Chain A
Amino acid sequence: MSVRVQMPPILRPIAGGERWMDAEGATIAAVLADLAKKHPALGLHLLDEHGAVRRNIVCLHDGQAVRSKEAATRAVRSGDDIVLTNALAGG
């Protein structure tokens, strides 16, 4: 599946500066793993030591917030948009 992933501002400079990045995969975890493979520096921020999606990453997909532990089973369709965001706290 070919999808688009919107990068948060802090990660954009690490992989070319684009807001949207194209990636392949059948699940959200697979899509992020594809990005990590294409862009190793970006990959440090997406996947942890165990290859899992970092625990505080939240992906917005199809009107829902998908947390990291659901990323491996969350299926995507060709043409989907995924918005990469994260857990937030105060100042």
Chain B
Amino acid sequence: MAVSLVVGTPKGAAILTSKDRKSWSENFVLQGWPVTASARDDKGRIYAAVNSPNYGVALFVSDDLQNWKQLESAPRYKPEDRGNPEHHRIVSQMDFEGVLKGGGRFVDQIWTMHWAHGALYAGVSEAGLFVSRDYGASWQPVDGFNNHPTRDSWVPGFGGLGAHTILSDANNPNRMWVGVSAAGFFRTDDGGRTWAPKNKGVDPAVEAAPATTGQCVHHVAHDPANADLMFRQEHRGVHRSDDGGDTWRVMEDGLPVAELSDGHRCSFGFAMVVDRKTGKPFVVPLNGDNFRFPRDGQLAVYRSDDGRSWTAHTSGLPGKCYTAILRGSMAADQLDPGGIYFGTASGAIYGSADLGESWREIATGLPRILSVEAYPA
């Protein structure tokens, strides 16, 4: 039951390790680097993505989670790729010289990494997908996605235009999904050559009328071995799909519903995971987009069997909690019984070794938690 958590923060990565999921040791590595994502390959090596407003995006790799070596390559756009002016405007607060404005397309952050079918994928902002088939030694853009026919209509969320979710089908190497804030959710069925928007049944972020793209997807989770059953935490609520994203339905029975800034009522949040042994999804609802902390300050994880109804679990979680849980900062260890972990924007990590029935704080005093991944030993 040994597990290691790689916890990304703006000042490095906390490595939390436990043999019994009760007592945890903590080490802080990659000090000084904002760590935004991690992934494990088929050889057991862990990759950590860093981004620095000064020194750019890079990847480190480790065999033991203690010693890290930077790779000599990282995802990069081609000089001729044109950038999204609205994305540049949002990220320009970190642009000391102002050269982003009106300029080319830059990789300013790796939001997520995903290992599937012998390849390492990176989802980045400005929104794009890159793949490495040689364990990070070289990276290639997935042009079918990065030059998507609808790209000119993509509008960033307030956090920028980021490809933050990558999912794969364990039984079909040609099928993958990518989520972009706030362009929506896309699927390829031909190994990445073409991508179709998969947002039917999900309202766009700001438009009243249905649209093919423009949805503010926050996160999507599934079991790769049962890939077509998907759960989606959208800005505008929690959805389920039974057909690989072709159609979506709102499923919020039992979830706290809050009014969004535009008057729409739904269950808002960011993080979402699925325990593969049981198929159960987990979310951490926040009190709408104006407040973005748990309702009445009670931190609660909601669990469901299948999305049709949800139950709150609060045992061991604080009742005066006015922080957020970001989209990448929740993970499942896929052990039996399943361990679920999440980090807060105020630097605490909570873990459950019984599928969310009870929780304990396993780390505190960290910077804002950007990402959490769980790796069974």
Interchain nearest-CB distance for A71 vs B (Å): 11
Given A10-B55, A45-B52, A69–B32 Cβ distance below 8 Å?
no
The reply to whether the CB of B20 lies closer than 8 angstroms to some CB of chain A is: no
B153 close to chain A: CB less than 8 A? no
| B347 on the A face (CB < 8 A) | no
The range of chain B's interface size is: 20 to 34
Most buried by A among B33, B57, B72, B96: B96
In B46-85, the 8 Å CB interface with A consists of 52-58, 70-74, 76-79
B96 and A87 within 8 A (CB): yes
B107 within 8 A of A: yes
Residues of chain A contacted by B54 (CB below 8 angstroms): 54, 56-57, 86-87
Which range holds the interface residue count of chain A? 20 to 34
Given contacts A49-B77, A49-B104, A50-B104, are A44 and B57 in contact (CB under 8 A)?
yes
- Chain B residues, CB < 8 A from A1: none
Assembly CA distance A9 to B104 (angstroms): 30
B99 interface contact, C-beta 8 A: yes
B: residues with CB less than 8 A from A are: 32-33, 52-58, 70-74, 76-79, 94-100, 104-107
Minimal beta-carbon separation of A83 from chain B (angstroms): 14
Does A11 count as interface, using CB distance less than 8 angstroms? yes
CA distance A51 to B77 in the complex (A): 12
CB-based contact A48/B32 at 8 Å: no
| Cα-based distance from A87 to B76 in the complex (angstroms) | 22
| Chain B, interface SS category | loop
Contact B71 A68 (CB under 8 A): no
Q: Which of B32, B78, B100 contacts A10 (CB 8 A)?
A: B32
Bound state CA distance, A26 and B78, in angstroms? 27
Contacts of B78 in A (CB 8 A): 49
Ordered by A's residue number, 12 sampled pairs between the chains whose C-beta atoms are within 8 Å are: A10-B32, A10-B33, A41-B58, A41-B70, A44-B72, A45-B52, A45-B56, A49-B105, A49-B107, A56-B96, A86-B54, A87-B54
CB-CB nearest 6 A-B residue pairs: A45-B55, A86-B54, A87-B96, A40-B72, A55-B97, A56-B96
B56 contacts A44, C-beta separation under 8 Å: yes
Are B106 and A48 neighbours in the complex by a CB distance under 8 Å? yes
Contact A45:B58 (CB < 8 A) given known A14-B70, A55-B95, A56-B94: yes
Chain A residues lying within 8 Å of B71, measured Cβ to Cβ, are 41
A44–B97 CB distance below 8 A: no
Distance between Cα atoms of A14 and B32 in the complex (Å): 13
Q: Which of B56, B97, B100, B104 contacts A68 (CB 8 A)?
A: B97
Give per-residue flags for A54-85: 1 if the beta carbon is below 8 A from chain B beta carbons, else 0: 11110000000001110000000000000000
* Residue in A10, A46, A48, A69 whose Cβ sees the most chain B Cβ within 10 Å: A48
Docked complex Cα distance between A10 and B51 (Å): 13
Are A55's CB and B96's CB within 8 A?
yes
Tell me the bound Cα distance from A9 to B31 in angstroms.
11
